[in-house]
């Protein structure tokens, strides 16, 4: 049985990983501020500070955890007998917004401290020469979802739950999501098959969905008919600008987040593992909404 040195075990991904890997791998759960002593076969580094949408966190906290801790764990990995290092980064290390399909060749221009701190960690890892017997995987998932965690889908779910009709039916966008089950499936494949090469890999579900489709899935989970209004975009833009000055549920920033596209290409990882992902966005998200 292979053994895993795991950081970030108390987070959403960590809890799901432990649940899936229990009995298949022997897992050592690294406690924050403990001495890093790696005697396991595999290092899975999940620990990190997630993006704070309220912008209240001190920027230094991002770099202390997302960058500095990653460097410490990776340096210890290099000195250990562990064969594989798996680092959970983020697509936000590349771009916060992007109007094309984002792949591993997209030039990194992060705008937030979250994205910048993740990119600095990536750059440090990639700057080091690896011994022949070691592999390193930098995984860049997009928005991760799963049962018990709907993340940034909160706003959409709350709107539908309140009975307010969805007013943005005239906007046609596409956004990628990442099922936590797909992410853990990929990690398992990387551990299992030694022929998979080190590298940077985007992780996302194969099909991107429009915001309108997500709204439909939320209604479906409640066994209700969708209430989607197609209000002219000009009217919505005016309302959003008004919301910039007085409190309204909608402002320019929120309108952009709800209607912009962010499509992540996962072809590289699918080619590497040579398998289809076990879950698609529609069924995965529907399962999340049905269990809320």
Whole-model pTM? 0.94
Domains of the chain with bracketed CATH: 3-141 (3.40.50.720)
- pLDDT of 51 reads 63
The predicted pLDDT at position 201 comes to: 98
Q: What is the pLDDT of residues 27-57, one digit of tens each?
A: 999 998 899 999 999 999 999 988 655 556 6
| Low-confidence residues in the chain, pLDDT < 50 | none
Q: Please give the pLDDT value at position 150.
A: 60
Give the integer Cα–Cα distance in Å for 190 and 25.
14
């Amino acid at each position: 049985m292979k053994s895993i040195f795991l950081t970030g075990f108390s987070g959403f991904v960590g809890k799901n990983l432990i649940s899936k890997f229990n009995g298949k791998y022997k897992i050592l759960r690294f406690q924050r501020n403990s001495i890093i002593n790696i005697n396991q076969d595999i290092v899975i580094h999940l620990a990190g500070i997630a993006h704070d949408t309220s912008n209240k966190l001190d920027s230094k906290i991002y770099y202390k955890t997302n960058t500095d801790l990653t460097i410490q764990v990776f340096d210890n990995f290099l000195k250990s007998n562990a064969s594989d290092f798996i680092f959970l980064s983020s697509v936000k290390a590349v771009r916060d917004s992007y109007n094309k399909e984002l792949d591993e060749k997209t030039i990194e221009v992060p705008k937030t401290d979250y994205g910048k701190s993740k990119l600095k960690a990536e750059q440090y890892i990639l700057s080091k020469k690896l011994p022949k017997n070691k592999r390193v995987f930098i995984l860049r998932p997009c928005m991760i979802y799963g049962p018990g965690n709907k993340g940034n889908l909160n706003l959409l779910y709350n709107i539908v739950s309140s009975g307010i009709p969805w007013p943005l039916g005239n906007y046609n966008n596409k956004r990628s999501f990442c099922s936590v089950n797909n992410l853990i499936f990929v990690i398992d494949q990387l551990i299992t098959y030694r022929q998979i090469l080190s590298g940077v890999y985007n992780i996302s579900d194969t099909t991107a969905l429009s915001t309108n489709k997500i709204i439909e899935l939320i209604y479906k989970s409640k066994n209700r008919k969708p209430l989607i209004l197609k209000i002219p975009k000009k009217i919505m833009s005016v309302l959003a600008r008004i919301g910039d000055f007085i409190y309204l549920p909608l402002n320019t920033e929120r309108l952009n987040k709800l209607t912009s596209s962010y499509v992540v290409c996962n072809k590289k990882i699918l080619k590497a593992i040579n398998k289809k992902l076990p879950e698609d966005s529609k069924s995965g998200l529907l399962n999340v909404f049905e269990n809320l």
